[in-house]
């Protein structure tokens, strides 16, 4: 009698895709709310991370600055814990399949869908002198970014859910016409994700586009700059460190302190009981500066080793092309292109 016990096949790791634009500045909000979480995801998922420089040119860019910012953004991802040996980390323009699939998906995306996209409306208002076709159709390119890798999950903030919904709609429409071709992606929203607000107007999300440089902390700011910005943060006249309605400034600082130290709001309230806002703001600035110090140091090291960076992004592009080409070939065959 055969007594062999069959071992179940290991469960397939799900695929995660995410991209960031090469803006030259990553804020504390970007880091705590998203990028810091990407490193740990590598242990449980197959991850692909891209510097989406093709999306960047929907608004006018200085070519020299774009090249530099693309390299800096790539180095920053690695400095934040993305391991090119565990994840596919690449520059979007190095992988031609993104542009090629985007054109096909343009033909399966409805004009009305694109015209309803909130970011198109916002950017059109900000760049009224350059409302170009790429600005209108870039959600199709974003869908291509995601669908090329048969992505299961896309880490997103609430403000990006509209783009994931469009990618899902396009995938379902194409699958309905030609049979299962694309994995229909789901948004991945971490259970604990800090939403970091402006230091000068805590009713608004922290943003690098804010005209007031004191409103945001860039993760490459030096220690003294970070502490100064927190010392200038808007609070209230109550002088009590407590998390409650009507205390937006203190609530934001407590959220930042909690996110960096792991302490609960109750523990923070106890720690600063009877102490003034000056002590609290200095403490928040100090823990943030200390927390970001290893990132700053690793970023500086990587930027001084351009050969290593190039080796990483060239290898990442080869891996991305190999994986994405399978999807593109399938799509080309489905729509009737001669291969």
Q: What is the rounded distance in angstroms from the CA atom of residue 42 to the CA atom of residue 15?
A: 10
CB atoms within 10 A of CB 18: 25
Our answer to whether residue 123 is catalytic in this structure is yes
Same domain, 29 and 162: yes
The reported pLDDT for the residue numbered 129 is: 79
Q: Which of 49-53, 158-162, 271-275, 321-325 has the lowest mean pLDDT?
A: 158-162
pLDDT at position 8 over 60:
no
Same domain, 231 and 218: yes
Q: What is the percentage of the chain residues whose pLDDT exceeds 70?
A: 94
Same domain, 189 and 44: yes
**Length of the chain (residues):** 339
Same domain, 19 and 133: yes
In a domain, 206, yes or no: no
Residues whose CB falls within 8 Å of the CB of residue 294, separated by 6 or more in sequence, listed in order: none
In a domain, 328, yes or no: yes
In a domain, 7, yes or no: no
In a domain, 112, yes or no: yes
pLDDT at position 2 over 60:
no
Confidence of residue 157 (pLDDT cuts 50, 70, 90): low
Same domain, 110 and 29: yes
pLDDT at position 6 over 70:
no
Same domain, 117 and 221: no
Domain of 250, CATH number, reads 1.10.240.10
Same domain, 239 and 121: no
Number of domains in the chain: 2
Query: Dihedral (C-alpha) 218, 224, 226, 229: value to the nearest 10 degrees?
Result: -120
Q: What is the DSSP string of 166-224?
A: HHHHHHHHHHHHHSS-S---EEE--SS---PBPSS-TTSB--TT-S-GGG--BTT--HH
Q: What is the rounded distance in angstroms from the CA atom of residue 225 to the CA atom of residue 238?
A: 26
Residue 284 tokens read as 């928040």
Q: Which residue is catalytic, options 123, 183, 229, 281?
A: 123
Same domain, 125 and 245: no
Same domain, 274 and 178: no
Q: Which residue is catalytic, options 14, 86, 205, 231?
A: 205
- Structural domain boundaries enclosing 226: 213-301
Confidence of residue 193 (pLDDT cuts 50, 70, 90): low
Q: Which residue is catalytic, options 14, 86, 195, 208?
A: 208
Domain of 26, CATH number, reads 3.40.50.620
| Contacts by residues 309-315 (CB-CB < 8 Å, ≥ 24 positions apart) | 309/71, 309/74, 309/75, 309/78, 312/74, 312/78, 312/84, 312/89, 313/74, 313/89, 313/90, 313/91, 313/94, 314/94, 315/84
In a domain, 130, yes or no: yes
Q: Which of 51-60, 138-147, 149-158, 251-260 has the lowest mean pLDDT?
A: 149-158
Same domain, 297 and 311: no
In a domain, 208, yes or no: no
Same domain, 105 and 28: yes
In a domain, 276, yes or no: yes
Q: Tens of pLDDT along 106-145?
A: 999 999 898 888 777 777 777 777 888 888 899 999 999 9
Our answer to whether residue 180 is catalytic in this structure is no
The reported pLDDT for the residue numbered 1 is: 46
The reported pLDDT for the residue numbered 128 is: 77
pLDDT at position 22 over 80:
yes
Instruction: For residue 215, list its beta bridge partners.
Output: none
The answer to whether the CB of 170 falls within 8 A of the CB of 178 is no
Our answer to whether residue 263 is catalytic in this structure is no
Q: Tens of pLDDT along 250-299?
A: 999 999 999 999 999 999 999 999 898 999 999 999 999 999 999 999 99
Same domain, 168 and 313: yes
In a domain, 319, yes or no: yes
pLDDT at position 192 over 80:
no
């Amino acid at each position: 009698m055969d007594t062999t016990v069959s071992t179940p096949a290991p469960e397939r790791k799900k695929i995660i895709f995410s991209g960031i634009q090469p803006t030259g500045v990553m804020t504390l909000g970007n880091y705590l709310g998203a990028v810091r979480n990407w490193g740990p995801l590598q242990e449980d998922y197959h991850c692909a991370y891209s510097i989406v420089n093709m999306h960047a040119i929907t608004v006018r860019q200085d070519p020299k600055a774009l090249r530099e910012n693309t390299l800096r953004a790539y180095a920053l991802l690695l400095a934040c814990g993305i391991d090119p040996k565990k994840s596919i980390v690449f520059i979007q323009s190095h992988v031609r399949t993104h542009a090629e699939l985007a054109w096909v998906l343009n033909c399966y995306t409805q004009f009305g869908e694109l015209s309803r996209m909130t970011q198109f409306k916002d950017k059109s208002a900000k760049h009224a002198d350059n409302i170009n076709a790429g600005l209108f159709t870039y959600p199709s390119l974003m869908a291509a970014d995601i669908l090329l890798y048969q992505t299961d999950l896309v880490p997103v903030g609430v403000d990006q859910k509209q783009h994931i919904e469009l990618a899902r709609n396009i995938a379902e429409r194409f699958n309905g016409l030609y049979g299962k071709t694309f994995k229909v992606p789901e948004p991945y929203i971490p259970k604990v994700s800090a939403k970091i607000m402006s230091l000068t107007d805590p009713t608004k999300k922290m943003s690098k586009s804010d005209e007031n440089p004191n409103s945001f902390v860039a993760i490459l700011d030096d220690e003294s700059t970070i502490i100064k910005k927190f010392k200038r943060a808007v609070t209230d006249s109550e002088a009590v460190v407590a998390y409650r309605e009507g205390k937006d400034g203190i609530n934001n600082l407590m959220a930042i302190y909690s996110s960096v130290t792991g302490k609960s709001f109750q523990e923070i309230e106890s720690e600063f009981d009877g102490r003034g806002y000056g002590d609290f703001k200095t403490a928040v600035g100090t823990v943030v500066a200390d927390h970001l110090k290893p990132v700053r140091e690793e970023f500086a090291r990587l930027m001084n080793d351009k050969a290593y960076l190039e080796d990483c992004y060239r290898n990442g592009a080869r891996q991305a092309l190999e994986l994405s080409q399978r999807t593109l070939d399938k799509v080309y065959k489905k729509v009737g292109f001669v291969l």
